[in-house]
Structure 1
């Protein structure tokens, strides 16, 4: 990974720690208090050993020290437990905040942006990558503070007793963080590659799972199994690479700590044998001094070793932060100082171009006008840019050129106020795993049961709902389970009718319906849009009789425009589409066969 990028990601991670609240600071305080209790415990143990071994005092005279030692053991256990709980709460708050920020960001960027990646990739970002921030905030950041405080406390206690022991500790301490940094450079890059492999695997697997029926129909199961196996093997290999680096770093850190402690033990051993005579300020070196320093020596290196153990959490967090930072800092439209709009709406487009998220032109230039109470239809082959235009009108895709709503430039418009005037109905109804009541009242939670029932009646689905024992509480399963496509579409229509909109955006609302459901939906839409504007995309030319104007689109451009009768009598793409419909046996009123 580029060092400047790693530094940028580390800075971004540190900026997020405010979400941990006071829990992060309390966790560090608990660790420092535990270190102080540790020093006191070592002092008591060294004092007892000095008195019993060197001063020949009876062991019974140290009953007070024994009680203090037992109390300190209990206090340290409570402090360790409290630190773990506080650290977990700090990470929990951070994950909750980041996850909410990610979901809010995706909501603001809209469905067109979300469709730029497979659903599995977004699931990896929202779930796995946010989860992998936990140990960075719960363990690594507190441990960094403790790695500074606790060794400093120990040095303050050791130097007045024996400056040579303090120098040995001070000189050998940098070996551990130095190696930790060297290992960390490779660990962060390995984790980043691991997350990329996980994202690809998640997206690949979820897409294949959704298309399982299609794969079975075309006998592609074995080929897809091989691809999933290859993606899984890549992920396994990268995961083992990360684990191998983590185990290697832990082993080497233990080695350096053991060598450093051995050097200190050798110094005191030769001092007691009389071969070394320095470091004790000219006073005789006592058993108390040696035991006190040697007891504290492992604890001096322990915070550094723990930081090395948790260093992979930093590498893991840096790998996860790349996608999170890219998403959360993705530019979005400025909503400050925008103008609100109320119906009825007049839309005017002049030389309008609709762009993709990555800057490619999807549609245009096109020009048209949609006045209040008028009905505009978009027809044309797949890929002509019809759905892109609706996504742009909803504010989900960037535009170039001129587009005004009630003489307000689209860029100066408050999109939330515009959406309150719109009702959208697509060809794939999205119902949520909740009751029919909640699905209908999604955009207007204050609707009464009577109002919801009335909307269902208008959408020609009331008989089905009242016929269920649960009524409005009838549960809708995941992906609309428990309902036919026609029933789901009519419930989605009832939800759209609840908006009391002045402009209906209809993206092939009858494309997947049987003839009966199609007739019912068409009837409800005709009644709902009788006094309102509508912009409809359709491949069913028999639905175009009531349209005031039809825009025939091909390859992102308007190639014909006019009313139904005019276009039917004119040679061109529309006439060809009518001919194809007649060849399929579709009867279109007003058109001679």
Structure 2
């Protein structure tokens, strides 16, 4: 079984420095307990020996002062740890979203990505906030108490020395099983999310085919699998907790028995000159705290196992070799140069298969239809021209220069893209059409796009909020609104992917007229289409051969 690397690799240097401070403060707070125990033992011993009340008050005041200091240190340590955890999880989510947004063909499904962003990354929180402080306390407090115990009684020190290492040994044995159980649980969570999203997407078909019972049975089976994986993790956690508590309880009991019989005079060995009442109370107060850091570390060990499983999944996502989108997707000034594009000797990879695409040269103001069977590579050519896909071989030339990551954002500032499935954000139609509030004439753009009737039919006109899915307009109407946005944006290169697909004759004709109007206005228009009427309306047709898209 391969040994996993520590999830510490997920922590940036700043977070590691913060967690080191938190761990140090937590360890110092825990290390102050022997001082409180000493004060309690002195106070009780003095009270029983008839010491004046002022001495007891002084002991109580000292105990309270140390307790307040410990509470303050713990509070600061917890605040630092939680702040570091929030920052790390936030940064990982941002990095993951950015990376996946620039990899449109990445292997991670939307369901798996959603599970990682929500449930799985949240697992890192307990590991960050608990494991490091627990490890720091374990490295300091047991050794300090062991030294103090040997100073007072070699027998108690020997009990600690024998019982203490049993906890880490058992913790390591259980940890191996916990890692595997946590990994299986994380996989099951991802599968559950994937199934749920798939079923929601297919809900109309499920209802149409009367397949509700079968779908429900599959979902119940997956839910049962997740329950079983979760219970396996909990069983390991409860088993390890019970065993560790047993070791700790036996150790504390042995100290209590030794101290009790020593104070009764039944045991005369095990100390350096006879055990006093104060020393016995001191040892009794130290015993639970000797084991407490080890118990805390054992609990945090399960958090570490879960974090390792998440870290491995993040490594797998980062190792996806899908070619990223060129550029960063940031706003940029439009690229200078002619509104021309070209593909020269371009091939792309689709899995293990290589697809060769035809060479094309499109000059400023030209209108071109890419025509061919499904799977021939028409949509792929549009993605290449927009910098949404990098070629395996060959060259994409835009505005007279090779398309690279350095100019991709500036090139896309000149492009208007009309996809088959239009995503309308949750904003008003006015803001969607003119996101930068340029003050352009929206009515003229809608008229040129043959879309003025769409707005007139909406309940609040341009102030209508269409929502995330474009509710309130059909697919064809949404594409016409995108074309209106192209008129408004001043984009001089229009890329349209099957803009008339699945539309009635009226909507298809309106979109064709709008694209022709864009071309007559001097824009470069390139469409991928099966529609012979749209293809005929363009200036020329470029056939795209058989292949894999």
Instruction: Using structure 2 for the length normalisation, give the TM-score.
Output: 0.89
Tell whether 2:364 aligns with 1:372: yes
| Residue 428 of structure 2 corresponds to residue 435 of structure 1 | yes
Task: Return the offset for 1:22.
Answer: 5.9
Choose from 250, 255, 266 the match for 1:264: 255
1:96 to 86, 90, 101: 90
Corresponding position of 1:298:
288
Q: Deviations over 1:49-86 (max 9, x none)?
A: 21233x24366741222233344445544544444443
Say if 2:283 is the partner of 1:284.
no
1:75-119 CA deviation, whole Å, 9 max, x = no partner? 54454444444332221111111111111111222x232xx4432
- Distance in 1 of aligned mates of 2:279 and 2:449: 88
**Pair 1:86-2:80 in alignment:** yes
* Match in the other structure for 1:568: none
Equivalent of residue 517 in structure 2, options 504, 513, 527: 527
Cα deviation for residue 169 of structure 1 reads 2.1
Q: Distance in 1 between matches of 2:93 and 2:543?
A: 43
Match of 1:360 in 2: 353
1:348 corresponding residue in structure 2: 342
For 2:474 and 2:124, locate their aligned partners in 1 and report how far apart those are by CA, in whole Å. 42
Secondary structure of residue in 1 paired with 2:537: coil
Query: Separation in 1 of the partners of 2:53 and 2:498?
Result: 91
* Unaligned segments of structure 2, at least 5 residues: 328-333
- Which residue is equivalent to 2:40? 45
Partner residue in 2 for 1:3 = 2
CA–CA distance in structure 1, aligned partners of residues 268 and 128 of structure 2:
46
Q: Where do residues 238-257 of structure 1 align in structure 2 (5 Å cutoff)? A: 238-257=229-248
Residues 481 and 3 (structure 1), Cα distance of their counterparts in 2 relative to 1, 3 Å cut: same
Shift of 1:469: 7.3
Q: Hey, what's the Cα distance between the residues in 2 that align with 1:495 and 1:168?
A: 78
- Is the 2:341–2:385 Cα contact (8 Å) retained in structure 1? no
RMSD over aligned CA atoms reads 3.0
Of the candidates 137, 153, 164, which is equivalent to residue 146 of structure 1?
137
1:552 equivalent in alignment to 2:543: yes
Residue number in structure 2 paired with 1:202:
193
Q: What is the DSSP-based 3-state SS (H/G/I as helix, E as strand, rest coil) of the residue aligned with 1:490?
A: helix
Partner of 2:202: 211
Work out whether 1:121 is the aligned partner of 2:115. Answer: no
Contact 2:335 2:413 in 1 (8 A): no
What is the CA–CA distance in structure 2 between the aligned matches of 1:138 and 1:404, rounded to whole Å?
49
Q: CA deviation at 1:264?
A: 2.7
| Map of 2:380 onto structure 1 | 388
| Partner of residue 69, structure 1 | 63
The offset of 1:393, in angstroms, is 3.0
2:369·2:529 contact (CA, 8 Å) conserved in 1?
A: yes
Work out the CA distance in 1 between the residues paired with 2:223 and 2:497: 38
1:323 corresponds to 2:313: yes
Q: CA deviation at 1:124?
A: 0.8
Aligned pair in 2 of structure 1 residues 411, 434: CA closer, same or farther (>3 Å)?
closer
Cα distance change on mapping 1:300 and 1:141 into 2, 3 Å: same
Q: Distance in 2 between matches of 1:325 and 1:347?
A: 37
Residues 522 and 335 from structure 1, CA distance in 2 versus in 1: closer, same or farther, beyond 3 angstroms? closer
Say yes or no: does 1:13 pair with 2:8.
yes
Q: Which runs of 5+ in 1 are unaligned?
A: 559-593
Q: Given the superposition, is the C-alpha separation of residues 151 and 532 from structure 1 closer, same or farther in structure 2, using an over 3 Å criterion? A: same
* Separation in structure 1 between the aligned mates of residue 474 and residue 55 of structure 2, nearest angstrom: 86
The answer as to whether partners of 1:194 and 1:235 remain within 8 angstroms in 2 is: yes
- Quick check: 1:492 aligned with 2:482? yes
Matched, 1:477 2:471: no
Distance change (3 Å), C-alpha of 1:529 and 1:188: farther
Q: Matched residue pairs, number?
A: 540
- CA spacing shift, 1:304–1:275, aligned 2, 3 Å: same
Deviations 1:13-39 (A, max 9, x none): 344154537653443244234214422
Residues 347 and 403 of structure 1 are in contact (CA less than 8 Å); yes or no, is this contact kept in structure 2?
no
**What per-residue deviation string (whole Å, max 9, x for no partner) do you get for residues 101-159 of structure 1?**
111111222x232xx44321221122111111111111112221222122233345444
* CA distance in structure 2 between the aligned counterparts of 1:157 and 1:228, rounded to whole angstroms: 58
CA distance in 1, matches of 2:458, 2:540: 42
Q: Distance in 2 between matches of 1:465 and 1:172?
A: 78
State the partner residue of 2:413: 420
CA shift in 2, pair 1:460/1:154, >3 Å? farther
